[in-house]
Chain A
Amino acid sequence: SQTIHQWPATLVQPVGSPLSLECTVEGTSNPNLYWYRQAAGRGLQLLFYSVGIGQISSEVPQNLSASRPQDRQFILSSKKLLLSDSGFYLCAWSRQGAKQYFGPGTRLTVT
């Protein structure tokens, strides 16, 4: 069966520090991968998606970037965090069935 992992589960980082969040999927190949951010009490905002290795599409211009170095690995990065980057970051995958499977999320607090 397929599983999706995210780490770390929680993270507290100072403003201006770098960020690296990792997401890996097991049990499937060539999935579509997505990064979302959810601010407190708000809906999910799609940040990036990828339909294949090295193929990244950005939905919202900001100081974040994403990379997909392997088929089932998706990384979200920032060189310098802002206070507004705080939130709940979710990774998800899908195949041709269109429904998405979400990971457990990373709670990021920028201080």
Chain B
Amino acid sequence: SQKIEQNSEALNIQEGKTATLTCNYTNYSPAYLQWYRQDPGRGPVFLLLIRENEKEKRKERLKVTFDTTLKQSLFHITASQPADSATYLCAPGGRDSSYKLIFGSGTRLLVRP
């Protein structure tokens, strides 16, 4: 069955450093992969989408890479701030019109001031 793996341990970094989160998938060939941010008690918020024919995507301080050979996506936040502290979820998506996603369990990021 399809499996999405994200580091279950929290990532604790100093303000100003770059945070790198990993998402690995198996038994799956997604057409695209999305990253979401979730704050406690809230619904996830969409951040970035990267398609299978794209290697890298950037948005302000965020960067996502997508390696279909390694079956891995990396999510980077540069110049991290305490306000970036949240849980980040990766979600690969398929090729049909349902646009349904399979979510990873998320990685919690803590940015220390």
- Say yes or no: B42 contacts A99, CB within 8 Å: no
- Number of A interface residues at 8 Å Cβ cutoff, please give it: 26
Q: How far is the CB of A109 from chain B (nearest CB, A)?
A: 14
- Say yes or no: A103 contacts B43, CB within 8 Å: yes
B46 contact from A45, A90, A100, Cβ within 8 A: A100
Interface residue ranges, A against B (CB under 8 Å): 32, 34, 36, 42-46, 49, 51, 57, 59, 88, 90, 92, 94, 96, 98-105, 107
12 chain-A/chain-B pairs, Cβ below 8 angstroms: A32-B98, A32-B99, A32-B100, A34-B100, A46-B102, A49-B98, A49-B100, A59-B100, A98-B32, A98-B93, A99-B46, A104-B43
Interface residue ranges, B against A (CB under 8 Å): 4, 32, 34, 41-46, 49, 89, 93, 97-106
- Say yes or no: B105 contacts A98, CB within 8 Å: no
> Bound state CA distance, A4 and B45, in angstroms?
13
- Would you call the interface of chain B mostly helix, strand, loop, or mixed? loop
Q: Point out which of B89, B99, B106 has the most chain A C-beta atoms below 10 A from its C-beta.
A: B99
> Bound state CA distance, A92 and B34, in angstroms?
15
Chain A residues near B4 (CB-CB < 8 A): 43
> Bound state CA distance, A102 and B103, in angstroms?
13
B101 contact from A46, A88, A104, A107, Cβ within 8 A: A46
Since A57-B98, A104-B43 are in contact, a sample of 5 more A-B pairs with Cβ atoms closer than 8 Å, ordered by chain A residue number, is A43-B104, A46-B101, A46-B103, A98-B99, A100-B46
Closest to B48 in A: A99
Chain A residues near B93 (CB-CB < 8 A): 98
Closest to B8 in A: A41
Tell me whether A46 and B43 are in contact in the complex, defined as CB-CB below 8 angstroms, given that A98-B34, A98-B49, A98-B93 are known contacts.
no
Closest to A105 in B: B43
